[in-house]
Structure 1
Amino acid sequence: MTDIPKNDPDLVPTHTTAATSSVALWVAQHHGVPVQQCSLIRRGLNDNYALRSVDGTRYVARLYSIRPRGDFNVDFEIALLAHLVSRGASVAAPVLAVDGRTRVPLQFPEGPRALALFRHAEGVTPDALDEFELTGRTLAHIHEAARDYAGPSSRYVLDGHHLAGKTLAYLKAYPELGEELLETYSRLVQRLVEELAAAESGLTRVVCHGDTHGFNNHVSTDAAGTKKTVFFDFDDAGPGFLAYDLSVLPWSYLFRKSLKEPDDALRERWTHYLRGYRAGGGVVSEQDLAALPLFVQLRHLWNLGEAAGRLHHWGTNSVPLDWLHKQVDVFEAWRGLELRA
């Protein structure tokens, strides 16, 4: 049997999944938390690990992955979370390293990555209608608490270029994507960016969470039966539009259910979500509501781009060519969405 060289000079790694034992050691070394148990939650845009310390405290460690959008936005994310915590907003608090750093730089085979630690958000994802109302109310509190944030700036703004423009570049590198389909997406990007440019002067601006699809906040119930929700995963946060942050929840439902228009379940959830946002002090203008179909499309394009930009890691199966063809009709159908609850 021929010996296999330990280090093949032709091997170019694209993504490394760290062993749970490594993450436990790094957290103990850099954050001073003695870890009793560590398990991988998921590999996604980043790699997330659940940890339990010897005293029973639960944490989530995130290993930021190298992404085509650019360098990590973690300094902004951690500073924003610390600000929100100081304002009493219900978010998963960051845990700084023992030397005060927001992130720990680590050298992986594919390049430099970063480790950050957060408090675990107890509970489960919202399901009942009152939980969607609570989610909306808490998001309003977060938006209000972020108004006077004055820490490090975000590396990106959730504007037309970020949500749509970058996707076109990713699609141009997609293997075997024909010129006709690429031109179709080019026209789609142009339309969406132009529509946003025409509407943006009348839209409410906030510091967006950026990924409020209903799975980045957990609802828990205390002994008295009172429910609370905690938001986490602010990796996609940045200055942007209220209508975008609100649109991500209905987009998620439409996307997961492969719907071209809302069904009764979505209408009920959306009604309670928006009611909760307003009850929490959030003001949603008619212009914001009118822009929701536009932002549902922009979110879909952004999400498509995140997958298309990570073919080296996720592969073409994450965004198949036949699926890309089918989405052209989806974008067109969503232009007429009715989300004015």
Structure 2
Amino acid sequence: MLAVAYSTLSEKAISDYIAENYHIKPIEVNYLIRGINDTYVVKDDHSKYVFRVYRSDWRSHEDEVAFELELLIYLKNQGIPVSYPIAKIDGHHINTLYVPEGKRFGVLFSYADGEETPIDNENISLLFGKAVAELHQKTTNFTSNKQRSELNLEFLIDHPLEVIQKAMVHRSEDFTFIEEVAIKLKNRIQELEPKGLDWGICHGDLHGNQNISFCNDLTYTHYDFDICGYGWRAYDIAEFRLARQYHTNGDKELLERLWSAFLEGYTSIRELSQNDLAAIPVFVWIRELWLMGLCFQLRHIDGGIDTGDDFIDEKIDIFKKVQL
């Protein structure tokens, strides 16, 4: 018997499991997407749901999942529209699933009605800014005793560098360049932090084109809090800025209009200090570094075809543009 790094649960297995453990009788289960985790859409006679199966090497401790679920229940109770966990017959939310690679955790979530909507105009960018600010505002008093990685410099820079170094042993000089950039980014945040950077609950993946569903009337639902945790709010916001840089395809005027609208929406709900604003461009680069590490971290699942030397060359070119 050979070792397994990653297994995919069958739709029938998920359907049977849900029927046995929930007050739900699935009539259809469809495997939707493989990302950091596996996502299935579940339908019964009345509603749709999402069943997420966390990867065993990504969320290996139940506390990590429990923190996310506690946050979602808290947000729901605070009136924030989120995709929230559905309790099992026994009242618990987390399933321990035994698979060839060991065990994986599974959670059933409410379905986020609507659809992913491109944030390509100022109106929806302003609305998204308000939605992010409300998310940050409503989590001010959230607490949990569950263990969860903070979105700190160890998580955002040190760990990704370790992963990147292992993937670039054949390009040691180029890795040294990336490491030097990372040190500059780290030092810049350490310079800004004593002046005060807003710290609190972050979604962790607020790029805007995903992880929020909009209905036709522009009501919305946040979803996928898998990377949530305590961190710098400027980092949480920086992901939106980075995503706009990619999605505006070099149209700098559009980028700045969307960014201004987002900030207008955000600051209409809660304040952003000048120090936080100064940190956002730094966190944009840090997010790029973290994503590079994540891509390498997923190679044993997704294969290495998209993270070869062309990928490294592209990232080197990006980091050559860093200005602090």
For the pair 1:156 / 2:149, whether they are aligned, the reply is yes
* Structure 2 match to 1:167: 160
Do 2:82 and 2:222's aligned partners in 1 also have CA atoms closer than 8 Å? yes
* Structure 1 match to 2:49: 59
Do 1:126 and 1:132's aligned partners in 2 also have CA atoms closer than 8 Å? no
**In 2, distance between residues paired with 1:252 and 1:229?**
19
For the pair 1:208 / 2:202, whether they are aligned, the reply is yes
For the pair 1:76 / 2:67, whether they are aligned, the reply is yes
TM-score, length basis structure 1: 0.88
- Tell me how far 1:322 sits from its aligned partner: 2.5
Do 2:129 and 2:266's aligned partners in 1 also have CA atoms closer than 8 Å? yes
* Structure 1 match to 2:8: 17
Aligned partner of 2:306: which letter?
A: S
Q: 1:38 to 1:335 in 2, by over 3 A?
A: farther
* Structure 1 match to 2:128: 135
Residues 282-337 of structure 1, C-alpha deviations (whole Å, 9 max, x = no match): 2111111111111001111111111111221122223222322332231242436x
Percent identity, aligned pairs only, is 26
SS in 1 for 2:42: strand
Unaligned runs of 5+ in 1: 1-8, 337-341
SS in 1 for 2:167: coil
- Tell me how far 1:190 sits from its aligned partner: 1.7
Please say which of residues 327-336 and 154-163 is displaced more in the overlay. Answer: 327-336
SS in 2 for 1:121: coil
Q: 1:297 to 1:103 in 2, by over 3 A?
A: same
**In 2, distance between residues paired with 1:70 and 1:184?**
33
RMSD: 1.9
**In 1, distance between residues paired with 2:203 and 2:157?**
18
Aligned partner of 1:206: which letter?
A: G
Residues 144-174 of structure 1, C-alpha deviations (whole Å, 9 max, x = no match): 1111112234511111110111111112322
SS in 1 for 2:29: strand
**In 2, distance between residues paired with 1:35 and 1:334?**
50
For the pair 1:330 / 2:318, whether they are aligned, the reply is yes
- Tell me how far 1:115 sits from its aligned partner: 0.4
For the pair 1:110 / 2:104, whether they are aligned, the reply is no
Give aligned pairs, total: 319
Q: 1:110 to 1:255 in 2, by over 3 A?
A: farther
Residues 219-271 of structure 1, C-alpha deviations (whole Å, 9 max, x = no match): 113xxxx4211110000000111111111012123245675xx6222222212
* Structure 2 match to 1:339: none
Q: 1:164 to 1:70 in 2, by over 3 A?
A: farther
* Counterparts of residues 243-262 of structure 1 (less than 5 Å): 243-255=234-246, 259=250
* Structure 2 match to 1:3: none
**In 1, distance between residues paired with 2:188 and 2:168?**
29
